Amino acid sequence: MKQLVIPAALALLVAACSSTPESTDQAGGAPVESRGGGPSVATVTTGGVDGNRLPAVLTDPKSILSKRSVYFDYDSYEVKAEYKDLVAAHAKFLSENRQFKMLIQGNTDERGSREYNLALGQKRADAIRKMMALLGAREEQLESVSLGEEKPKNEGHSDSAWAENRRGDMLYNGEF
């Protein structure tokens, strides 16, 4: 029995470690993967970049990809249903444009201790990162950090100001 288990385990290990190269386009660009469903997102080629060297599709106000914030309920790190299409669009963009990386910054309002807010901000950033990874973005493209209450979008001290500060911001390389 041992004589069969060891070779089978080695064969499984070798098969798991092997990889096949991904195909790229003729110009030597990034690999492109086609998946059906979800929001329509363009694969970036050359041209159409802004001052941060970002493609126009990421900065065009008409594009879903120009929206970069996911807002959370008080004391929550669950991505709300209204932001799932936004997260899916960014995940699809990243899966089709492997040269891009994203930093996800988790933010909180000013209520709560500094330690609590740093932990909650990290959970918010991680929730977005995990959702994006499940939707096709590669783990090595994603980084999540917490800013806690340190980078408010609105300096006010009201419910509406706090609601603006409970968010996760998605930044592409060139923006951080």
Q: What is the pLDDT of residues 56-101, one digit of tens each?
A: 999 999 999 999 999 999 999 999 999 999 999 999 999 999 999 9
Residue 148: inside a domain, yes or no? yes
Are the C-beta atoms of residues 70 and 86 closer than 8 Å to each other?
Answer: yes
Residue 102: inside a domain, yes or no? yes
Tokens read off for 42: 């363009």
Residue 36: inside a domain, yes or no? no
Mean predicted confidence (pLDDT) in 146-154:
97
Residue 158 confidence (pLDDT) above 80? yes
Q: How confident is the model at residue 7 (pLDDT cuts 50, 70, 90)?
A: low
Check which CATH number belongs to the domain holding 170 and give it.
3.30.1330.60
Q: What is the pLDDT of residues 15-41, one digit of tens each?
A: 554 444 444 444 444 444 444 444 444
> Does 4 or 162 have the greater pLDDT score?
162
> What domain range includes position 149?
52-176
Reported pTM = 0.72
pLDDT of 176 reads 86
Are the C-beta atoms of residues 147 and 106 closer than 8 Å to each other?
Answer: yes
pLDDT of 170 reads 98
Q: How far apart are CA 153 and CA 167, in angstroms?
A: 9
Residue 31: inside a domain, yes or no? no
Residue 72: inside a domain, yes or no? yes
Torsion of CA 8, 9, 14, 17, to 10 degrees: 140
Q: What is the pLDDT of residues 112-147, one digit of tens each?
A: 999 999 999 999 999 999 999 999 999 999 999 999
